[in-house]
Amino acid sequence: DGIHFATKDGNFTAGINGRMQVDSQTNFNNNVAPATGANTSNDLNDGVTLRRARLGIEGTFFKNTDYKFEYDFTRGNGTTAAGVTDAFIRYNFSKPFSVKFGAFKEPFSLEEATSNRYITFIERNMITNAFVDDLNTYKVGIGANYSAERWQVATSLQTEPVGNNGASNSATFNGTNPNGGVNRSGGSGDTNWEVNGRVSGLPWMESKTKFWHVGASGSYINVNNNYLANGNFSNGGISFARGLDNNVDRTNILNTGNLTSGTRGTATWREADHLTRFGAETAVVYGPFSVQSEYIATNVSGKGYSGDALDGFYAYGTYFLTGESRAYKAKTGAWDRIKPNHNFDMKGGWGAWELAAGYDSIDLNSGPIHGGKAQTAKFGINWYPNSHVRVMADYVHALDINTFDVANARSKAFNNSDLDVIETRVQLDW
């Protein structure tokens, strides 16, 4: 795909990749509590956005070393560096084994491992976003990958994202770092660190279009908490917050607030010291049909917590009206690019058409944590005029939103509300 160059001796190669996603969101706000006093309306707003605009360069040096640098020009309101996604140098010891240094995605979850160019719905499911992607999954560290024909294992020791995302993250390691995600000046404490691992494979594979995928992920996250000399909590900690599957108005409907708060040594002091995350995933492709499901749990440990578990799951099915199958890459244990059987043209080519329906559930309440819970049903239709363009439309219906115990007033306003959201996307990538 795309543009590729190489020097004559083959010692240096480079390719330029890119993607653009133009999105819209229209909301039907029913039974959202009205605003009072000096507050603006609680309703979600309608609009359009350039959801992602990324350019990247990747290639190899002297055959065994490769690199990737990718930048998202629409990321965040924070520092410029927050736009960096992948930025790593990798040494390939042998075909299946490699080690990389730099910023790269955590190995965790099937939906997270899948590029946003290839996910089925316009946005990832709530658990994938709340527990993995919203924390900014591109973090600086060291990773090792091993892959065989039908399975792969990925592990990493990672720290923090490259830049400070400002308010763009709905959940984040809170205010740890006013100077950018990885600049430690100004009393931002030693970096967060985490150990991650994911293994996936195909226990059954009849052909490229008939197989069964299973996988599991695990992660330990050490949370950075900083206190003033007088014992008051200063910065750090962690929060989990989420809208439904909305892409333009990203108001947090669910919101735990910062899990670290109070003054060290007092009765009301709580500290999220570390998190453990677990994920289980499965998918089956049978010709034009597919089903996919994941469960993710995050346990919070520390002062005032006893491994309190936030969790959720999703399940959905897809069907290609035009006969294609979902494309899969065993090396990464993730979904890949769809090639229509017939490209769209004015002479009767239809491209590929895909239908999808799913159920999505998340629970951010546990013990002393009151982040709320929600379930949605969603329906999607995807049109692939050719292998590099995709037009999508999703309908998301809130089955239940329970935010009665959430401290945040805006979140609380959505308790028992009836939200419906229609989203669209026009995407090009290469």
Q: Which is nearer to its own copies, 269 or 295 (CB)?
A: 269
Q: How far is the CB of 309 from its own copies (least distance, A)?
A: 28
Strand partners, 4: 15
If one counts every other C-beta atom within 10 angstroms of the C-beta of residue 289, the result is 15
Q: How far is the CB of 178 from its own copies (least distance, A)?
A: 8
Question: What's the rounded Cα separation, in Å, for the pair 107 and 98?
Answer: 14
Q: Which is nearer to its own copies, 65 or 306 (CB)?
A: 65
Q: How far is the CB of 4 from its own copies (least distance, A)?
A: 9
Question: What's the rounded Cα separation, in Å, for the pair 393 and 133?
Answer: 22
Q: How far is the CB of 338 from its own copies (least distance, A)?
A: 15
Q: How far is the CB of 123 from its own copies (least distance, A)?
A: 14
Question: What's the rounded Cα separation, in Å, for the pair 182 and 215?
Answer: 31
Q: Which is nearer to its own copies, 254 or 300 (CB)?
A: 254
209-214 — which CB contacts under 8 Å span 24+ positions? 209/285, 209/286, 209/287, 209/325, 210/285, 210/286, 210/287, 211/284, 211/285, 211/328, 212/282, 212/283, 212/284, 213/110, 213/281, 213/282, 213/283, 213/284, 213/285, 213/328, 213/333, 214/281, 214/282
Residue 411 DSSP code: H
Q: Which is nearer to its own copies, 57 or 144 (CB)?
A: 57
158: exposed, middle or buried (C-beta count within 10 Å: 0-12, 13-18, 19+)? buried
Question: What's the rounded Cα separation, in Å, for the pair 18 and 7?
Answer: 22
Per the CB < 8 A criterion, the answer to whether 139 and 106 are in contact is yes
**CB within 8 Å of 8: residues ≥ 6 apart:** none
Q: How far is the CB of 67 from its own copies (least distance, A)?
A: 5
**Share of the chain residues as helix, strand and coil, in percent rounded to the nearest 5:** 5, 55, 40
Q: Which is nearer to its own copies, 73 or 286 (CB)?
A: 73
Q: How far is the CB of 119 from its own copies (least distance, A)?
A: 19
Question: What's the rounded Cα separation, in Å, for the pair 398 and 125?
Answer: 13
Per the CB < 8 A criterion, the answer to whether 262 and 214 are in contact is no
Q: How far is the CB of 99 from its own copies (least distance, A)?
A: 11
Q: Which is nearer to its own copies, 101 or 212 (CB)?
A: 101
Q: According to DSSP H, which parts of 46-98 are helical?
A: none
Q: How far is the CB of 332 from its own copies (least distance, A)?
A: 22
The residue count for the chain:
430
Question: What's the rounded Cα separation, in Å, for the pair 132 and 366?
Answer: 18
Q: Which is nearer to its own copies, 2 or 203 (CB)?
A: 2
Q: Which is nearer to its own copies, 78 or 257 (CB)?
A: 78
Q: Which is nearer to its own copies, 179 or 276 (CB)?
A: 179
